[in-house]
A and B are shown apart, each in its own frame.
Chain A
């Protein structure tokens, strides 16, 4: 899509009404679309379509606007007032000191998920693009995409009823062996409802998006560069390291950031698995330490009074801003990459 032509409608040519159809004498196709003879149904249709596009921008602005409106009472109320009116609001806290640990928990959970998912996703993407028999490759890609089709509430169910018996001994071993490392400080919770379990489930949930984007990037590696590496006597792995990975690096980074965006906003799996707490705590093997913004909203919203709802919406606003920034950064990287490869 070229964006050089002006969007301003062409002035109506003099000499009475013009036919509805664009006149072929107007040159290139792109030029012809620019609204020549733009009348009646044509104009109505164009405006409807443009209106729909503008509506999208309006919706996004409305999301931000309405969140701010509804969050305003909580943002302007003092900590004491919030503490009095909201049952679950901690004493001696302000809205900032309330949302702080939530943001921390959200970031920590998402970071864990990203840390666990990215290497595996890159491996799967390379497997599909460069290792699997070519005939199977697209089928295998579809199988990985199935992971994204499973609703998050099912992951929550699985992560809280099926996973804990499997991971509890592993977490216990981690705490016993690496307990000196702050993240793995023991004793590991005997319920398994800890942030590391959450991170594991989130990792499974964001695996498909990271895999899909990385796979596309790896498949775009020019065959010329792969052959150049092979002709120098590179093994397959060395070829990937020399030609594929450098080429796909920015794509993988943006894929990981898209995954991060997903993990930040995921609600149900966290809500159903994690035993929450409001601490700035790195202890991912202990229960009752952290909570994420999204899960906190879902947990308290149904029973909340108006001031409580307002407080929760204020935390939602924080989540919105964080995910917006992450996604915009990821998309900007993707867009810049497109320009880069287009220019070459």
Chain B
């Protein structure tokens, strides 16, 4: 223990008058300022709580209203031959359509998005790179319905007006998806330390192999996450699919022919059919609200898919990220 030779300790007794004066000074800011501070703190908490109200309400109503239709039958049957207030029908065809169309969109967007990200990170310099960066940002703001109109207009040029098929929806979704893929991949590629690239060059590995074997390999987890999150982002899109893919009641596995049903459009379709006028004398089983029930159940399925994609996407990074990227 070092001995502390200071004059601290009792010292000279403080003058009681000064003590009182200092105590008054330190008692606090004036009441109005403290009140403002407290009010603002309460407002900040309030804002957060306020935002949680719709989140909780949406989650609760979707689960509560969707639960009683949501079962194995609902997931494995289409709407073929279902009419009126029948207690039947499901979302099988819509799930198929959503999966196929989204896969198609991913098949278009991921190569383009990833290559663009590689261009921006590894090669991009000068005016072109600046323009690409700027317009990728601008592209994130394209309204989904405009993307739908674009895809329709594009295909109408080749197939004539009134064209409705799955791949048009894929193209529409990929317009929305590409900028998201570019952004997230770019971020991930930039995280790869330059030393790794230089180490590969020093070993005599050509640049393109370095990019593929070192840069992409290092960031594969992050890229996977980015792709999954971008899929989650577009899988709930309704408007572009409504105008490009249309509505149908039966199963269609072919992206290149005929209308397809998708989950979000299914929700809208069921909702817009509204309440069923039931006549007890004619029909034994008639549920007036069956359309709304199906809409809620399909919404539940859609939200579950989106949440699953989000969750798995985030877990992928956590599990597979190289130590350096953490």
Q: Quick check: A151 and B238 within 8 Å, CB to CB?
A: yes
CB of B51 within 8 A of CB of A326, answer no
Query: Which of B15-23, B29-37, B74-82 faces chain A?
Result: B29-37
Per DSSP, chain B at the interface is helix
Which residues of A sit under 8 angstroms from B62, Cβ to Cβ?
Answer: 154, 157-158
Against A, the Cβ 8 Å flags (1 = close, 0 = not) of B185-208 are 000000000100110011011111
Q: How many residues of A contact B (CB 8 A)?
A: 108
Within the assembled complex, what's the spacing in Å between the Cα atoms of A111 and B52?
22
Residues of A within 8 A of B33 (CB): 235, 238
Whether B61 sits at the interface, judged by CB under 8 Å, is yes
Give the distance to chain A from B186, nearest Cβ to Cβ, in Å. 10
Q: In the complex, what residue of chain A is closest to B190 when comparing beta carbons?
A: A1
Per the bound structure, the CA–CA distance linking A306 and B150 in Å amounts to 15
Query: Do A42 and B132 have beta carbons less than 8 Å apart?
Result: no
Closest to A151 in B: B236
Contact partner, B271, options A157, A235, A331, Cβ 8 Å: A157
Q: Tell me whether B51 and A120 are in contact (CB under 8 A).
A: yes
Residue of B nearest to A309 (CB): B161
Q: Residue of B at shortest CB range from A63?
A: B150
Task: Give bound CA distance, A55 to B208, whole Å.
Answer: 20
Q: Does A170 contact B (CB under 8 A)?
A: no
Of B118, B119, B232, B237, chain A has the most CB atoms within 10 Å of the CB of B119
Query: Does the CB pair A49–B157 fall under 8 Å?
Result: no
Closest to B133 in A: A1
A162 within 8 A of B: yes
Give Cα distance in the complex from A233 to B47, angstroms: 26
Known contacts A151-B236, A151-B264: does B123 contact A54 (CB below 8 Å)? no
A301 B242 Cβ-Cβ under 8 A: yes
- Separation of A35 and B123 alpha carbons in the complex (Å): 9
Taken residue by residue from 129 to 170, chain A's Cβ proximity to chain B (1 for < 8 Å, 0 otherwise) reads as 011100000001001101101111111111011100000000
Asked if A265 contacts B153 (CB within 8 A), the reply is no
Interface code B86-123, partner A: CB below 8 Å = 1, 0 otherwise? 00000000000000000000000001110110111011
A33 touches B122 (CB 8 A): yes
Encoded as 1 (CB less than 8 Å from any A CB) or 0, chain B from 278 to 319 comes to 000000000000001001100100110011001000000000
Q: A63 CA to B246 CA in the complex, in Å?
A: 21
Q: Which of A179-187, A275-283, A317-325 contacts B (4 or more CB under 8 A)?
A: A317-325
Which residue of A20, A52, A143 contacts B119 across the interface (Cβ within 8 Å)? A52
CB neighbors of B among A289-344 (8 A): 294, 297-298, 301-302, 306, 309, 312-313, 316, 319-320, 323-324, 326-328, 330-331, 335
A-side residues, CB < 8 A to B, are 1-3, 5-7, 19-22, 24, 29, 32-35, 41-42, 44-46, 48-57, 59-60, 62-63, 66-67, 69-70, 119-124, 126-128, 130-132, 140, 143-144, 146-147, 149-158, 160-162, 204, 207, 211, 233, 235-238, 240, 258, 261-262, 264-268, 271-272, 294, 297-298, 301-302, 306, 309, 312-313, 316, 319-320, 323-324, 326-328, 330-331, 335
B46 within 8 A of partner (CB): yes
State whether A153 touches B141 (Cβ < 8 A): no
Task: Please name all residues of chain B whose beta carbon is closer than 8 Å to the beta carbon of A122 when the two chains form the complex.
Answer: 47
Q: Closest chain B residue to A7 by CB distance?
A: B126
User: In this assembly, does B175 line the interface, its C-beta being within 8 Å of a C-beta of chain A?
Assistant: yes
List chain B positions with a Cβ less than 8 A from chain A. 29, 33-34, 36-37, 40-41, 43-48, 50-52, 54-55, 57-58, 61-62, 111-113, 115-116, 118-120, 122-132, 134-147, 149-150, 152-154, 156-157, 161-162, 175, 178-179, 182, 194, 197-198, 201-202, 204-209, 211, 232, 235-239, 242-243, 246-247, 264-265, 267-268, 271-272, 292, 295-296, 299, 302-303, 306-307, 310
* Closest-CB distance, A212 to chain B (whole angstroms): 12
In the complex, A119 Cα to B111 Cα: how many Å? 40
* Residue from A49, A207, A265 within 8 A of B115 (CB atoms): A49
Shortest CB distance B298–A (Å): 9
B138 and A49 within 8 A (CB): no
- Separation of A69 and B29 alpha carbons in the complex (Å): 67
B135 in contact with A123 (CB, 8 Å): no
Given the complex, which residues of A lie within 8 Å of B127, measured CB to CB? 3, 7
